Amino acid sequence: AAAAALLCLSAVPSLAQSSACDPGETVIKFSFVTNATKHPKGIAAQLFADRVNKEMNGKVCVELYPNSTLYNDDQVLEAMLQGDVQMAAPSLSKFEAFTKKFRIFDLPFMFKNIAAVDEFQNSAAGQKMKGSMERRGLKGLEFWHSGMKQFSANKPLLLPSDAKGLKFRVQPSDVLVAMIQAIGGSPQPMAFSEVYGALQTGVVDGQENTWSNIYGKKFYEVQDGITETNHGVLDYLVVTSSDFWDGLPDDVRAELTKILHQVTVERNAAVTEVEAKNRQNILDAGATIRELTPVQRQAWVDAMKPVWSKFVKDVGQDNIDAAQAINA
Ligand code: LMR
């Protein structure tokens, strides 16, 4: 492959692919839904592709398909099991059909920041979670971070009661559905690529996401403002199929594992900076960001935290206790 990462922007990926990789190279199609240049996930994917294409030239070639050009998150895991795509990094909320263990990451106010998420994931219990889908044919390789989620809507949101009766797009996660219901809203699970249009046309009134996604997909253009709630976490699992991964020659798998781990450590350490930059980009674009007083924020905590009790069995009280100990 060429030394530079192969960024396939073509609407016809099979055509883009035919010219991208050298004959004889193992092709890794890496599909994701965000942009590739200003988003924590895209930047990490680009670095991984650059390094593999340079350091493993002749053996392996990574093709990136950003912005849902190849698959949406609701299709990519099935496509992976079919062998149509080899790597992806869906958010942990998108593994509902494969494991309930990741629900802990969706529970509102479970982690105070991304550093706490990182510490939890690096514990023995957290590392074990990467393997929770192996019997279903998926192999978790590394957790990639993004950031804390914020709420936005077509009207100002300062208290949870402001959200009453509004429709909110959520990722397809039972925890997120319950969380929106807890504030009296109507949850609408929807693919990421459809959110802008749904906000614009009023199919939904609001949404929750990171600064990087709100900026990356310009949600701020079609919302009244963004409320800095930091109420939840958006984090990813870099995933492959066990069939593909186990079928690689040992030395190739070892080198890919090493490069991916180095990229993970480097980029996870930088996500807070990327998120802060995208928060500033939103302000620079003229959008309104509302900060909450401690009393207002506590009202969101009081409204949403009761959701935990519904999911204790899925996530384990021991894991909740471990997460809370890290926050303390
Ligand atoms: C979403 O669907 O809102 C996110 O999972 C998108 C992403 O991958 O950041």
- Could you tell which of 70, 168, 209 is best to mutate to test the pocket of ligand 1, judged by most ligand atoms within 8 Å of the CB? 209
31, 73 contact by CB (below 8 A): no
Q: Is the CB of 144 under 6 A from ligand 1?
A: no
- What percentage of the chain has pLDDT greater than the value 90? 92
User: Per the structure block, which two tokens stand in for 143?
Assistant: 């957790």
pLDDT digits 0-9 by tens, 137-194: 999 999 999 999 999 999 999 999 999 999 999 999 999 999 999 999 999 999 999 9
CA 72 to ligand 1 centroid distance, Å = 10
In terms of Cβ atoms closer than 10 Å to its own Cβ (0-12, 13-18, 19+), residue 233 is buried
- Could you tell which of 32, 33, 171 is best to mutate to test the pocket of ligand 1, judged by most ligand atoms within 8 Å of the CB? 33
**Sign of the Cα pseudo-torsion (75, 80, 84, 87, in order):** positive
Q: Residue 12 phi/psi, 5° resolution?
A: -115, 85
Q: Is the CB of 207 under 6 A from ligand 1?
A: no
CA 143 to ligand 1 centroid distance, Å = 14
Task: For residue 1, name the pLDDT band (cuts at 50, 70, 90).
Answer: very low
Q: Is the CB of 116 under 6 A from ligand 1?
A: no
| Residue whose tokens read 């009393």 | 295
Which residue in 284, 146, 268, 140 sits closest to 208, CA to CA?
Answer: 146
Which ligand 1 atom minimizes the distance to the CA of 94? 5
Nearest C-alpha to atom 5 of ligand 1 is from which residue? 91
Residue 9, pLDDT above cutoff 70 = no
Return the pLDDT at 15: 39
Q: At what angle do helices 294-304 and 174-182 cross, to 10 degrees?
A: 120
pLDDT digits 0-9 by tens, 10-60: 444 443 443 468 999 999 999 999 999 999 999 999 999 999 999 999 999
CA–CA distance from 226 to each of 162, 167, 197, 203, 208 (Å)? 13, 15, 17, 18, 9
CA 265 to ligand 1 centroid distance, Å = 21
Q: Residue 317 phi/psi, 5° resolution?
A: -60, -35
Which ligand 1 atom minimizes the distance to the CA of 169? 3
Q: At what angle do helices 317-327 and 114-121 cross, to 10 degrees?
A: 130
Query: What's the mean per-residue pLDDT of the chain?
Result: 94
| Residue whose tokens read 């079928």 | 247
CA distance 103 to 307: 11
149, 278 contact by CB (below 8 A): no
CA distance 269 to 72: 27
CA distance 228 to 62: 36
CA distance 280 to 289: 10
145, 236 contact by CB (below 8 A): yes
Residue 3, pLDDT above cutoff 80 = no
pLDDT digits 0-9 by tens, 96-113: 999 999 999 999 999 999
149, 285 contact by CB (below 8 A): no
- Could you tell which of 71, 148, 150, 171 is best to mutate to test the pocket of ligand 1, judged by most ligand atoms within 8 Å of the CB? 171
pLDDT digits 0-9 by tens, 222-236: 999 999 999 999 999
User: Per the structure block, which two tokens stand in for 169?
Assistant: 């797009």
146, 236 contact by CB (below 8 A): yes
Q: Is the CB of 209 under 6 A from ligand 1?
A: yes
Q: Is the CB of 33 under 6 A from ligand 1?
A: yes
Which ligand 1 atom minimizes the distance to the CA of 33? 8
Model ipTM value? 0.98
Nearest C-alpha to atom 3 of ligand 1 is from which residue? 192
| Residue whose tokens read 């493993």 | 56
CA distance 227 to 218: 15
- Could you tell which of 30, 32, 91 is best to mutate to test the pocket of ligand 1, judged by most ligand atoms within 8 Å of the CB? 91
Q: What is the DSSP string of 204-255?
A: -SEEEE-HHHHHHTTGGGGSSEEEEEEEEEEEEEEEEEHHHHHTS-HHHHHH
- Other CB atoms within a 10 A radius of the CB of residue 182 amount to 19
Nearest C-alpha to atom 6 of ligand 1 is from which residue? 192
Q: Is the CB of 76 under 6 A from ligand 1?
A: no
**What number of H helices and E strands is found in the chain?**
15, 10
